[in-house]
Amino acid sequence: MRLKRLFLLDMRFQAKYGFYFLYAILTAIYTIVLFALPEHWRGKAAAILIFSDPASMGLFFMGAIVLLEKSQHTPCVLAVSPVRAAEYVIAKVGSLSVVSLAVAAALALAAGVDDLPMVLSGTLLSSVIFTLFGIMIAAQIGSLNQFILWTVPVEAACFVPAVLHLFKVTPAWCGYYPVNVCMDMVSGHYPSAAGFFLAAAMTALLFVRSRFCVLQMWERMGGVKL
């Protein structure tokens, strides 16, 4: 019940501050761009658009979301409430994943992809990974400028290898790199079992770490879970 309420509160928060309106506009723009491209370019273009925006939404916006919550003293309330850090993380991941999947589905359909379920599965996995990265960083910063600086290494480590992998510039063994596995799925290709296992293991580790970062944030805000 607590998790459901947190999830709904996060969705209301995002709607209040214009997240859905923004992505409705962006989806329309991206769709126009895709239709303007030659048909044989649309598949890769859609994969890049999905991976670099809706799938990574949590990395870009989590700083603003958490900083707004801090300005409203929401972490202080959560720290002394029955809410668990894991529930907080899951609610954030789940609410942003809903938006990511909706935008990705629209772009994939516009590009005419052959395997929509695989694209959406890759989007979901990517969204979870990037949102967890965003939570880890946002829980430890005090300003938006700090958040932007801290996300630069993550962006470099995730986006550059994934785009190079999409265009087959990197060696074959790079296909096991978790973000490259995500890019394979977003582009409609089935990943190797070993690659998917590594991506899942990385997701689990990020979840544990993000939960710990949230607990630290709550303690700094003046509350300790007993």
- Per-residue pLDDT, 182: 96
Range of the domain at 55: 2-221
Question: Could you report the per-residue pLDDT of 42-66, keeping only the tens digit for each?
Answer: 999 999 999 998 888 889 889 888 8
3-state secondary structure the chain: CHHHHHHHHHHHHHHHCCHHHHHHHHHHHHHHHHHHCCHHHHHHHHHHHHHHCHHHHHHHHHHHHHHHHHHCCHHHHHHCCCCCHHHHHHHHHHHHHHHHHHHHHHHHHHHCCCCHHHHHHHHHHHHHHHHHHHHHHHCCCCCHHHHHHHHHHHHHHHHHHHHHHHCCCCCHHHHHCHHHHHHHHHCCCCCCHHHHHHHHHHHHHHHHHHHHHHHHHHHHCCCCCC
- In a domain? residue 226: no
Residue 226 has pLDDT above 60, yes or no: no
- In a domain? residue 214: yes
Model pTM score: 0.93
- Per-residue pLDDT, 39: 87
Quick check: 99 and 177 in contact, CB under 8 A? no
- In a domain? residue 213: yes
Q: Which candidate, 38, 65, 48, 63, places its Cα nearest to that of 160? A: 48
pLDDT band at 79 (very low <50, low <70, confident <90, very high): confident
Residues 6+ apart with CB under 8 A from 119: 50, 104, 108, 113, 185, 186, 187, 188
* Section 90-114 average pLDDT: 93
Residues 6+ apart with CB under 8 A from 197: none
Domain count, the chain: 1
- In a domain? residue 9: yes
- In a domain? residue 41: yes
- Per-residue pLDDT, 222: 59
Quick check: 76 and 221 in contact, CB under 8 A? yes
- In a domain? residue 110: yes
- In a domain? residue 64: yes
- In a domain? residue 114: yes
Structure tokens at 129: 């990974």
Question: Could you report the per-residue pLDDT of 208-224, keeping only the tens digit for each?
Answer: 999 999 999 988 875 44
- The end-to-end CA distance of the chain, in Å, is 21
Average pLDDT, the chain: 90
Question: Could you report the per-residue pLDDT of 109-144, keeping only the tens digit for each?
Answer: 999 888 999 999 999 999 999 999 999 999 998 888
